[in-house]
């Protein structure tokens, strides 16, 4: 959308004027190493992985503070805070119920994952009644008619909306709008 607005006004699109952008990169490194990088994700135990995820979220919130006047950043803060709350309250991982997880993997695979264990890279399989702040957990699914399925949270929606708003508004930052 930001590119479209900039093109419409015959101006080049650019990123929003982010302060301390390096901090966002630094913030992602612990999570990347513990969750996404195959070479290290299996070598880091669950306790350290949880600490990496939580520290990553805290650093991203720190990055948001000096950028709070950029449109959309407040939604990023809401999303990060929601995810940080539910993750911190549930052993450092995003909780997902067996019912939701069962829509992502086959019953045979789901049976091999004990309750309280990690599900995928960043989730933990918990019953809703044992999940703290269950309403903030990964409980939203894409429509069944889509071939790709993924579970996400309220916080994830706020993060996506905030990033979209920041990128879409970038061409308008500093421009007087009547």
Mean pLDDT of 139-166: 94
pLDDT of residue 121: 85
Tens-place pLDDT, residues 96-119: 999 999 999 999 999 999 999 999
pLDDT of residue 172: 66
Tens-place pLDDT, residues 5-15: 778 878 787 88
Mean pLDDT of 148-166: 95
Q: How far apart are CA 34 and CA 49, in angstroms?
A: 5
Tens-place pLDDT, residues 64-101: 999 999 999 999 999 999 999 999 999 999 999 999 99
Q: What percent of the chain has pLDDT over 70?
A: 96
pLDDT of residue 127: 98
Looking from the CA of 101 toward its CB, the CA atoms found within 13 Å total 28
Lowest average pLDDT, out of 5-9, 39-43, 97-101, 152-156, goes to 5-9
Q: How far apart are CA 70 and CA 37, in angstroms?
A: 31
pLDDT of residue 170: 73
Rounded to 10 deg, the angle between the 73-89 and 46-64 helix axes is: 160
Q: Using CB atoms within 10 A of its CB, is residue 170 exposed (0-12), middle (13-18) or buried (19+)?
A: buried
State the CB neighbour count (10 A cutoff) for residue 22.
Answer: 10
Those residues whose C-beta lies under 8 Å from the C-beta of residue 90, and which sit 6 or more positions away, are: 124, 126, 131, 132, 133, 137
pLDDT of residue 7: 81
Written as six digits, the tokens of 2 are 């930001």
CB–CB of 31/53 below 8 Å? Answer: yes
Q: Using CB atoms within 10 A of its CB, is residue 141 exposed (0-12), middle (13-18) or buried (19+)?
A: middle
């Amino acid at each position: 959308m930001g590119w479209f607005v900039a093109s419409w006004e015959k101006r080049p699109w650019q990123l929003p004027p982010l302060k301390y952008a390096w901090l966002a990169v630094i913030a992602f490194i612990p999570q990347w190493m513990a969750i996404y990088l195959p070479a290290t994700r299996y070598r880091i135990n669950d306790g350290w992985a949880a600490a990496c995820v939580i520290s990553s979220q805290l650093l991203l919130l720190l990055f948001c503070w000096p950028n709070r006047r950029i449109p959309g950043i407040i939604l990023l803060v809401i999303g990060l805070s929601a995810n940080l709350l539910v993750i911190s309250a549930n052993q450092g991982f995003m909780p997902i119920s067996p019912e939701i997880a069962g829509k992502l993997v086959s019953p045979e695979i789901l049976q091999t994952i004990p309750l309280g264990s990690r599900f995928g890279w960043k989730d933990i399989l918990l019953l809703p009644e044992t999940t703290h702040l269950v309403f903030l957990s990964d409980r939203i699914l894409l429509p069944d008619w889509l071939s790709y399925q993924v579970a996400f949270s309220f916080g994830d929606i706020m993060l996506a909306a905030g990033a979209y708003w920041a990128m879409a508004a970038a061409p308008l930052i500093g421009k007087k709008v009547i």
